[in-house]
Structure 1
Amino acid sequence: MQKTKQSLIGYLSIRNKIIISALIPMLLMAIIAAMVYINIEKTISTAKWVEHTHSVTAEGHQLVKLMLDMETGIRGYLITSNPTFLTPLNQAKRAWVRHIEELKRKVADNPVQVARVIEIEQLQKKWLREVADIVITARMEASSTHYNGATDLKTKQHKQQQAQSLAEVIKLVEDETGKRIMDKIRAINIRFIEEENQLLGKRQQTALAAADRTKKVILIGTLVAFLLASLIAFLTSANILNNLKKLLQGTEKIAQGDFDDEIQVSSQDEFSLLAESFNNMSQSLKYSINEMENALQSKGEFLASMSHEIRTPMNGVLGMLGLLLNTRLNKDQHHKASIAQSSAQSLLSIINDILDFSKIEADKLTLESIPFNLRQTLEEVAESLGFQAHEKELELVLDIAKVQHIQIKGDSNRLRQILTNLISNAIKFTAIGEVIIRATTEQNDNNTIQFSCHIIDTGIGISSDKQSSLFDSFTQADSSTTRKYGGTGLGLTICKRLTELMSGKVSISSKPGKGSIFTINIPFEVEHNQPLEIPNINIEGLEILIVDDNKTNREVLQGLLESWGAIIVEAVSAKEALQICQQRSQQAHKKFFDIAFLDMQMPEMDGADLGKKLQSNKDFAKMKLVMMTSIGEQGDNEYFSNIGFSAYFTKPTTTSDLFSALSIIMAGGDTLERAQPLVTSQYIKSLTPRQPTPKTSWTKSTHILIVEDNKVNQMVAKAVLEEYNFSVDIAEHGGEAITKLRAYPYHLVFMDCQMPIMDGYEATRRIRAGEAGQSNSQITIIAMTANAMVGDKDKCFAAGMNDYLSKPLDIALLVEKLQLWVPSPDKNTLKPEV
């Protein structure tokens, strides 16, 4: 590499050039700033002392005024003998004490002034003692009460005393003792104020001098700093740019594939090293790629760690709240626990949004491809947001008349997430009017369809210049939107990224004040197989092993499984779990575990390694394995399936999903085989609800109360229930239902929501409050309502109902609810979920 002669600056490193070019002006500016700061501090200090002087002077004048008030009060009293003239004297005496103490405090730094204040204080006390008090006493004696009768001896003597007292008063006044004291006080006060005025003059001159110095420092210093900085910047940039130009010329040749021509620089600074690095371009690129991969791995590890740390306590919170709500609570306790559960779920939703965004950014998000019911998904999304719309008195309309393809394959959970976000935003930004969800499907070919959904609102709208950036991260239409409606703008970004991952797109059409239309278009595969049902089994008596190092997780899962009748054994580590399994296998009289729930994140040995050890032992391999993890990674399904796991869930999972997973795993058959590679929450959602067992029946001793005002509905419901051997009574409205509950014990109540006199919501609230008797305050109440308004389900739960059925009644679903909530004699029944 050729090098030519260079000036002294060329031998400096770029770092030193930059330091020199920045340091000298910075030092000069720092000196200027320090001088300005010192002058400003002096000015501020002087201003405070000026203000202090004014305050002290005002206090001095106030003392003189108070002495005048005292004199005025005494004169008035001497002339009139009216005690009201003593009021100014008394007020001035009280104020004098306060002001003299304040003045002492303010001049405490000046011994001369302190001495004057003390002298004034002593003179005032002397004036009160030797003049005021004596004069007032004498005048009071001269003004004492007269006696009637001119010839009375006592009257004559009293008049003589009055005359003597007046003479004494006149003598005191003529003696001028009070005047001499007052003159002395005034003289001292004048000297006191003159001293303060002299200090004031000096301080004002100091302030003017400091201000003048500040101006000079700023003007001269700034000019010098500017000239010096310009000179240094010119010399440094000229040297750097010259070498940079040569470097750019060399890199252009390398970019064109000319690696033979070396980059030539004429300095011995970093440019020389940079040129050498360009000559080893292939090695540098390889190093950069490795660094990038390491950075992505670190980001993924951080994401996994944060997911685990956040979800683990959230799993405990939601699980404990679920168990709490399944106990006997009074109305207030149930309400508070429900609010806590709702808040925890909202927090989990926010956390999931953040983690989803991080996963998308790190390319770690995995999309499922499982069968699901499109109509059902749309209905459930609309239903879940209905209460939010109802609270704002908005119409939420679901139009799915043109959704011709019901069973499709894809990631239903992510589709729900997209729709929920867009519809929730539409409701949030709409004050009056309606939100319409209009969905359609069109056939692409025999195996795929195009799903389109328009979310139309009558809200605030968005201007055209803001629409292009609306889907950017942490962006909203403007800052006032964030302040008024809340949110970070992350949800729409996630919607866009998820839609694109699903090979679709999202768009917006909007006008300010006219509303907005969000449109999503996503292709899906058509599912040709008929949906399978969730099997219906009896969990009671299953022996289950729980392995988790987190005590809260174990307690929550144990409480849930035991509530269904399962027999639980706990292990706090993989090592303990292996010991328990070894002991159990050696005990011939004991049945081996049916299922084991394994936590993934455990010290020493994680859940995956424990699963491998269990599967490698033929005595343990017959036990079904369920993985519970706080961290979801791409490819987990295949990984855990290859180990031998039957199901895989990310914490926290729902009660119904756990119950369904147990049913699928223990029942086996086609439902389990089709769950390839294993059972997940997504797979469970693709299945149809479990159908009632035909043999399920109850006895006449099971009493049910139907609260319904419509005669036809009464007959239908009664006929269905009597087919299953229930004893059924009818109430026409809520008030009658409360009366019947007081008079007769029932196992369950089917409550219509819309009724005259007293509707189902009000009746439920009163029953929960104990108006139907304390024994009925926790009775199971299942709502029956025409699904005319989206959000009815949320309203029913808010009123205190346990479950929900929409009209017209689905017989299979009605019997399933009975299986969930009413024990049958053959125990072939499901436990209620939280």
Structure 2
Amino acid sequence: MNRRGNSRELIAIEQQLNELAEHLGTLKSSRDQTLAVSEHARDKAETASNAKSEFLATMSHELRTPLNGVLGMIDLVQEEALSLRQKDYLQTARQSTDDLLTVINDILDYSRIDSGAFNLEQQVFNLRTLIGNCVASYRHISEEHGLALTLNFYGDWPEKHLVLGDAPRLRQILACLLDNAIKFTNEGFVNVQAGCCGVEDGCIILTCSVSDSGSGIPQERVSDMFGSFEQLDAGDNRSFGGAGMGLSLVQRLVELLGGHVQVETSLGQGSSFRFELPLELASPTETPRPSEPAIPASRSPSMQALVVEDNPVNQRVAVALLTHLGFHTDMVTNGKEALNNVRTSHQGYDVILMDCQMPVMDGYETTRYIREWESGNDVGRTPVIALTADVLPGTELNCRESGMDDYLSKPVRKEHLREVVARWVKLPEN
């Protein structure tokens, strides 16, 4: 009996072990299938993310290229003698084009944040000057809307107002809130208050609010204000345009900078958007980034420029803008022609405007060949300024690494072109 009982127990244990082994095999197979599905999903997501990035890079270039022609021509026409009505028409066209460019920039920024490709800058800048300049840039449009735009500073500000942070993104946040307040305020005021507190351990807290006397926001819709592509008055009969993503982008930027944003509003009595950001005080030895490098003397009494651009409209815009700056300009449509001009020009060029994306030979390769030719022929270095409609991360770095000296993103504005060219060529006084 004992032997039979032991045999039955051994058989039962063996069966249990077999069942356990079978169960473990099933689990392993299930785990392998799950891992395979997860890996496939990850690869699919990475492929989709890369495809989106490539699509955005392409669309950025394709949209900015015609915008460059539109804004450039508007700038040139505004230099002519015009009637008041013509000036008004042109100003409306320019504002509409600027609005379109803002939408494009917001979409690109939003996508970069989503993909994790959004990089914050760290530079020394004057905080009060940045806020003051940003508000001042909206004074004219506020007056056109019949609004009083005011700015007040309060709190315990440091003596030098110099901080370390991402100045362009801070300005973008404030500009978006100002634009939003002016758009939704029919009469009354827009007020900016900038406070500083908590000056300790080398850090400060910036508290900035943008208040208006506009229509306000229904309480039940406040939570929707920071949603992507949200419009308070949706549908075909909504009162205001826009992509509905500005405030969502503001919230994301503020959070990336380590702060938070909130809104106080009352229907019919206006709104107040407030954000707080921690900022590091700059050390006494640090100074704001120089706005201009040393300006070399122009090599010739008659300044010579070379425009390398394959788009016919952008060619005309660049040549016309450089003519206004006092240059005699040659124009070619690809890198090979540019390289030939550089090698055979007897007088040489004072500056080269180089498009990055061109057929035959792109701007990066062309610039590398130009630098090799200069070093091998013991000639001076000609400033090469990149012109590109691609504003995705890494573009400016690619330009610098290829040997370009400066960078202009399309659409190129007359004042921006003058500013950048003046860093490398001594321009005549106006």
Question: Aligned partners of 1:334 and 1:458: how far apart in 2?
Answer: 30
Question: Aligned partners of 1:331 and 1:259: how far apart in 2?
Answer: 85
Do structure 1's residue 508 and structure 2's residue 107 form an aligned pair?
no
- In the other structure, the counterpart of 1:158 is none
Equivalences for 1:173-188 in 2 at 5 Å?
none
Runs of 4+ aligned residues of structure 1 deviating over 6 Å after TM superposition are 535-540
- 1:453 pairs, out of 199, 208, 215, with 208
- In the other structure, the counterpart of 1:665 is 424
Give the letter aligned to residue 326 of structure 1.
E
- In the other structure, the counterpart of 2:76 is 323
1:602 aligned counterpart, secondary structure: coil
Question: Aligned partners of 2:109 and 2:398: how far apart in 1?
Answer: 21
Distance verdict in 2 for CA 1:300–1:621, change over 3 Å: farther
Give the letter aligned to residue 304 of structure 2.
E
Do structure 1's residue 573 and structure 2's residue 172 form an aligned pair?
no
Give deviations 1:595-653, integer Å, cap 9, x for gaps. 22111111232211222222233247722221111011213333322222211121013
Do structure 1's residue 648 and structure 2's residue 407 form an aligned pair?
yes
Question: Aligned partners of 1:331 and 1:538: how far apart in 2?
Answer: 40
1:517 aligned counterpart, secondary structure: strand
Q: 1:533 offset after TM fit, Å?
A: 6.1
Distance verdict in 2 for CA 1:640–1:455, change over 3 Å: same
Greater helix content: 1
Percent of residue pairs bearing the same amino acid type = 31
Q: Is the 8 A contact 1:442 1:451 kept in 2?
A: yes
Can you give the 5+ residue segments of structure 2 that lack an aligned partner in the other structure?
A: 1-21
Do structure 1's residue 338 and structure 2's residue 69 form an aligned pair?
no
Q: 1:293 offset after TM fit, Å?
A: 1.4
Question: Aligned partners of 1:446 and 1:327: how far apart in 2?
Answer: 55
Equivalences for 1:71-110 in 2 at 5 Å?
none
- 2:24 pairs, out of 243, 260, 280, with 260
Once structures 1 and 2 are overlaid, which stretch shifts more, 290-299 or 463-472? 463-472
2:393 aligned counterpart, secondary structure: coil
Q: Is the 8 A contact 2:127 2:161 kept in 1?
A: yes
- 2:230 pairs, out of 475, 478, 495, with 475
Do structure 1's residue 529 and structure 2's residue 287 form an aligned pair?
yes
The TM-score normalised by the length of structure 1 is 0.44
Give the letter aligned to residue 640 of structure 1.
C
- In the other structure, the counterpart of 1:85 is none
Q: 1:259 offset after TM fit, Å?
A: 9.3
Question: Aligned partners of 2:185 and 2:88: how far apart in 1?
Answer: 28
Aligned positions, number? 399
1:468 aligned counterpart, secondary structure: helix
Give the letter aligned to residue 398 of structure 2.
Y
- In the other structure, the counterpart of 1:54 is none
1:439 aligned counterpart, secondary structure: strand
Q: Is the 8 A contact 1:432 1:459 kept in 2?
A: yes
Q: 1:660 offset after TM fit, Å?
A: 2.1
Structure having the higher Rg: 1
Distance verdict in 2 for CA 1:363–1:280, change over 3 Å: same
Give deviations 1:263-289, integer Å, cap 9, x for gaps. 6xxxxxxxxxxx967534434433332
Question: Aligned partners of 2:348 and 2:145: how far apart in 1?
Answer: 55
Q: 1:562 offset after TM fit, Å?
A: 1.7
User: Which protein, 1 or 2, shows the higher relative CO under an 8 Å CA cutoff with sep ≥ 6?
Assistant: 2
Give deviations 1:415-440, integer Å, cap 9, x for gaps. 22221221232233334543221001
Q: Is the 8 A contact 2:103 2:242 kept in 1?
A: no
What's the C-alpha RMSD, in Å, of the aligned pairs?
A: 3.1
Distance verdict in 2 for CA 1:372–1:551, change over 3 Å: farther
Question: Aligned partners of 1:524 and 1:628: how far apart in 2?
Answer: 33
Question: Aligned partners of 2:23 and 2:203: how far apart in 1?
Answer: 51
Question: Aligned partners of 2:344 and 2:254: how far apart in 1?
Answer: 51
- In the other structure, the counterpart of 1:598 is 354
Give the letter aligned to residue 383 of structure 2.
K
Equivalences for 1:695-714 in 2 at 5 Å?
none
Give deviations 1:83-113, integer Å, cap 9, x for gaps. xxxxxxxxxxxxxxxxxxxxxxxxxxxxxxx
- 1:494 pairs, out of 245, 249, 254, with 249
1:521 aligned counterpart, secondary structure: strand
Distance verdict in 2 for CA 1:637–1:443, change over 3 Å: farther
Distance verdict in 2 for CA 1:466–1:615, change over 3 Å: same
- In the other structure, the counterpart of 1:636 is 395
Equivalences for 1:141-160 in 2 at 5 Å?
none
Give the letter aligned to residue 612 of structure 1.
R
Equivalences for 1:326-405 in 2 at 5 Å?
326-402=79-155, 403-404=157-158
Q: Is the 8 A contact 1:398 1:438 kept in 2?
A: yes
Give the letter aligned to residue 572 of structure 1.
T
Q: Is the 8 A contact 2:148 2:188 kept in 1?
A: yes
Q: Is the 8 A contact 1:364 1:633 kept in 2?
A: no
1:632 aligned counterpart, secondary structure: coil
